[in-house]
A and B are shown apart, each in its own frame.
Chain A
Amino acid sequence: MTEKRVLVVEDEPNIAEAIRFILSRAGWAVTVEPSGARAMVQIAEWRPSAVILDLMLPGRSGLDILAELRADAGLATTPVLMLSARGQGRDREAAAAAGATAFLAKPFANADLLSALEEIAVPLPAQGA
């Protein structure tokens, strides 16, 4: 079985720790990156199978990072799960417009987080082939 790798871009250390615990127990290799500025470098170097991206990051907004990722020819297909704590409908729209694969509002149920990730990271057609 190929390794399932996820990069968690999240500045709140406690939330990042919770996500790390939930996903690694489900068999994911998890790397946490607290800085929005370094997120792109990490994705390019580590090539995760999916990215969990917080919308409000100090230094650089998650929407900016997502836009850059989608513009990058090599990385554009990386699935992205966007998280936001502002909980406004507008955030969900903005994330979709910027190219997020899925969106989850904080706070979330642990099971929802895992299923949302599994859904985007292992697309069914690919599995069938």
Chain B
Amino acid sequence: MPFNILVAVSLVYVLFLFLVAFVAERRAARGRLHFLYSPWVYTLSLSIYCTAWTFYGAVGSAARSGLEFLTIYLGPTLVFTGWWWVLRKLVRIGRAQRVTSIADLISSRYGKSNLLGVIVTLMSVAAATPYIALQLQSVTLSFGVFAADTPEFWALPNQSATALWIAGGLALFTILFGTRNLDANERHHGVVTAIALEAVMKLVALLAVGIWVVWGLADGVGDILDRIDASALADWQLQPGRFAGLTFVSAAAVLTLPRMFQVLVVENTDERHLVTASWAFPGYLLLMSLFVVPIAVVGLETAAPGANPDLFVLSLPLSQGQGGLALLAFLGGFSSATSMVIVAAIALSTMVSNHIVTPLWLALARGPAERGDVRGLVLTSRRLSIGAVLAMGYGYYQLSGGSEALAAIGLIAFVGAAQVLPALIGGIFWRGATHTGAAAGMVIGFAIWLYALFLPSVGEGGLISASLMKDGPFGLTWLRPQALFGIDGLDPFLHAMLWSLLLNTLAFLTLSMISFPGPVERLQGVAFVNVFEGREGAKGWSRGQAEAEDLLSMAQRILGAQEAQLFFQAQAAAQGKRGFLPDPTPDFLAALERQLAGSVGAATAHAMISQLIGGAAVSVQDLIAVANEAQEIKEYSAQLEAQSKELARTARALREANEKLTSLSVQKDAFLGQISHELRTPMTSIRAFSEILMEPDLPEAMRAQYAEIIHEEARRLTRLLDDLIDLAVLENRKVNLNISVANLHDLINRAVQSASSTRPERDFRYERDFPTEHMPVFTDTDRLVQVFINLISNARKYCDAERAVLRIEVKRSKNRVQIDFIDNGGGIPKAQQQLIFEKFARLTDTQKAGGAGLGLAICREIMANLGGSIDYLPGQGGAAFRMTLPLRRREGEAEPV
């Protein structure tokens, strides 16, 4: 098997994965992803549990220590079959609280404390580093196996260069598909699909090698059994302590490894998928382990002494001239390694950016930055974190010399990840678990893990000196890393696991019992432990202090303008209001917080909202709710609450209807008064000056000046009458529309040109994106341009920024187009945003406006006649108007009044 063909095949395989991920993303974007929502894809994505460690290492482990490799499969099997209600609870909580990572879950449970988020993040990064190194090592080694046999083709570039290329390539793939967007649900359809495919690949590869070994090399099952009896494996003795310990730690790892949490909880689209996964995933593991022993036994028989048993899966077919099979095995191992690294990097980068970078940025940039889009920051920090995580994996690979047995490195990561277990399980089953307990437990467990397992793993003289290993620090022998408290002779792995988890759990329980949870923590504890009773978490926001507009402009920076506006609109509609701004009720704030948490994590979302609301926290009602927790009045009160909400909605609707009716008659009077005022004002000047002109002794200059005033006022009167008639016609929908087709870009140009006579002396800049403007519109183009001119002239007149800029954004969605006019001035005060479309609503004084205040009222009527709408768009900084318009206006189809 020529080495360069191997490289070519790997590249083609990677390109294929790219393609699959890309197509899946595209289909997901169009909402056509039914296959993704199948329990099978979910189950297959869980198989990232089987990394290169299990693919290659299981055979090596079997060759070295017999059936011990089974523990790695046994742990998850126990969890999925016997304990799947734990998984179900985790998934339910994950969805209810919009959890983005395991760090987020812990931080959210213990009072949205970012400290805990940081602790879990650091632990996870530290624990994942050797694991990622392990994947790099396995792929590098497998390249080496091929290269060794074919020195005539390609000398293997030195191993660290190979590892570097692999790390770089994986970083690229992960960044491309893991950080394409800031998904509110943190789901990555492209990645999940590619990983499901890789799961199939590794299973097929391992089965193929296994079948070939049993029926190709040996003479079937009977022969294999004889060979096993004859081999050293038959003499394997069960070490009960180590066996139980390994099983336990694998069971813990399937819950607490960040990447497993990512696919298990975060990427879960449907809780029911767990039912399938509870038997299908153990089935997958069973198939993966089926041929491990036969391959190990036959490998030991045929391989040269001293050959690395970790690579039997590859070297066995290769040594028998089965190049194609070896290639398949190689791709299987490659799949195992890459899928693990990709998901781990996504999970870790989410944690790093949500719990370290964003909070830091929030702390440094006081107050909501003006137009800053947090999404850009979050995405950049995720991309950098992915690079950093892979760089650390590569660094560890270099440091550890890439020489150790695969299984040993994997176990280090398992024990590290397991340190989260007490806080996790305690958090979802025990209301008494507290922040202090969780933090202390994790820090102690982590420290012991670091000291007794991680640092020694780098090798003698690496990060920890040989003398310290032998005599302990400062000659304190009872602190020797692998014989803590003088307990000697234990297996180092078992030793570290026992001490770290024991002291971790002990600290967690003790401190939880003697410390008291804060109010937010107490509420979150109830919400987590009783998640199946449908309790919501801490609402904690008392009404009224937050301005809905500020909240919207913040939400836009995190969720994106479109998404945030849709969310606010839906919330406003749920409250029975029209427009973009809902009342900042505690319910709304809690919903908003959960929505934000989906993008930046619970702790950050909580911090951002409290920045705007100021202090806040737990209302008296919430505290009473906690106190009454034990009593059985909850259901009853929930019913009452639902009824009273219903009543409140009805009352609001009635009140609004009543207000509308009374205000209609008031409006009618006011309208008559307004018209009278607008007509009589110019007439007053005209009458007064005509009387003055009638007098004989007036100087000629004065006569001319006064005649000019009369002329000007007469024209103003005409203009006003024109506008009034126009408005009346438009309001009655009796206007004759002159439908024609034109390019929207040209129409905007026309309006910009016409409006240039308004305050021409002023420096005024337009910000436009020409390519998006080109589209044909079938409508009354003159009327549409009239609206454009009005909006542009208003901006030119009223935008009070020193360097006035008007941004015109065109966005097409299906058969409608949305046109935003946004300037950078002071905007329109909230109280007046509802007013501006009313007739004669003029916010400034007459001289400056130079019109009767009918412009926007006419605009609104024109848009209604064209089948579209115009609204004020709050939260954009300056004054902002959004027009929507059907691309094709059909005759005789005016919107109902």
Question: B-contacting residues of A (Cβ < 8 Å)?
Answer: 11-15, 17-19, 21-22, 56, 58-59, 85-88, 105-110
Contacts and interface: CB of A to CB of B under 8 A. Distances in A.
Contacts of A19: 688
B692 A107 contact: no
Contacts of B712: 14
B673 interface: yes
Nearest to B698: A21
A109 B687 CA distance: 7
Interface string B667-692: 00000111011001101111111011
B631 interface: no
Interface string B840-853: 00001111000000
A24 B672 CA distance: 34
A16 to B, nearest CB: 9
A21 B698 CA distance: 11
B845 A106 contact: no
Contact of A21 (B687, B692, B713, B844): B692
29 contacts: A11-B846, A11-B847, A12-B684, A12-B685, A12-B846, A15-B685, A15-B688, A19-B688, A21-B692, A56-B677, A58-B845, A58-B846, A85-B676, A85-B677, A85-B681, A85-B684, A86-B674, A86-B676, A86-B677, A87-B680, A88-B673, A88-B676, A105-B680, A106-B680, A107-B680, A107-B683, A108-B688, A110-B688, A110-B692
B844 A58 contact: yes
A14 B683 CA distance: 11
Contact of A22 (B683, B688, B713): B688
B709 interface: yes
Contacts of A59: 845
B498 to A, nearest CB: 79
A81 to B, nearest CB: 14
Given A22-B688, A107-B683, A14 B845 contact: no
B673 A15 contact: no
Nearest to A110: B691
Contacts of B681: 12, 15, 85, 106
A36 to B, nearest CB: 10
Contacts of A17: 709
Interface of B is mostly: helix
Given A85-B676, A85-B677, A13 B847 contact: yes
A11 B684 contact: no
Contact of B709 (A14, A88, A110): A14
Interface centre among B677, B688, B692, B845 (most CB of A within 10 A): B688
Nearest to A84: B677
Contacts of A87: 676, 680
Given A17-B709, A107-B688, 5 more contacts: A11-B846, A58-B846, A86-B677, A105-B680, A108-B687
A107 B846 CA distance: 18
Contacts of B685: 12, 14-15, 18
B621 to A, nearest CB: 43
Nearest to B709: A14
Nearest to B692: A21
Nearest to A88: B673
A106 B692 CA distance: 16
Interface string B382-411: 000000000000000000000000000000
Given A14-B713, A18-B692, A106 B684 contact: yes
Main secondary structure of the interface of A (DSSP, over half): loop
Contacts of A110: 688, 691-692
A107 B677 contact: no
Interface of B: 672-674, 676-677, 680-681, 683-689, 691-692, 709, 712-713, 844-847
A55 to B, nearest CB: 9
Nearest to A56: B677
Nearest to B686: A107
Contact of A85 (B672, B680, B691, B709): B680
Contacts of B713: 14
Nearest to B689: A18
A15 B846 contact: no
Nearest to B683: A107
Contacts of B673: 86, 88
Nearest to A16: B685
B677 A108 contact: no
A13 B692 CA distance: 16
Given A86-B677, A87-B676, A108 B709 contact: no
A103 B540 CA distance: 58
Contacts of A58: 844-846
A106 B680 CA distance: 6
Contacts of B689: 14, 18
A86 B681 CA distance: 9
A88 B685 CA distance: 19
Nearest to A35: B845
A13 B708 CA distance: 14
B676 to A, nearest CB: 5
A99 B182 CA distance: 65
Q: Report which residue of B673, B676, B684 has the largest number of chain A beta carbons within 10 angstroms of its beta carbon.
A: B684
B337 to A, nearest CB: 73
Contacts of A15: 681, 684-685, 688
Contacts of B674: 86
The 8 closest A-B pairs by CB, nearest first: A18-B688, A58-B845, A85-B680, A14-B685, A107-B684, A106-B684, A107-B687, A86-B673
Contacts of A108: 684, 687-688
A85 B713 CA distance: 15
A88 B668 CA distance: 13
A12 B683 CA distance: 12
Contacts of B687: 107-109
Contacts of A85: 676-677, 680-681, 684
A58 B849 CA distance: 12
B820 to A, nearest CB: 30
A17 B684 CA distance: 11
A63 B847 CA distance: 22
A52 to B, nearest CB: 13
A109 B847 CA distance: 24
Nearest to B681: A85
Contacts of A106: 680-681, 683-684
A87 B684 CA distance: 12
Nearest to A12: B681
A22 B847 contact: no
Nearest to B712: A14
Nearest to A109: B691
Given A87-B676, A106-B683, A22 B692 contact: yes
B103 to A, nearest CB: 56
Nearest to B845: A58
B698 to A, nearest CB: 10
A95 B688 CA distance: 23
A87 B680 CA distance: 8
A78 B692 CA distance: 28
A11 B688 contact: no
Contacts of A105: 680
B845 A11 contact: yes
A41 B674 CA distance: 29
A56 B845 CA distance: 11
A85 B692 CA distance: 20
B671 to A, nearest CB: 11
A19 B687 CA distance: 12
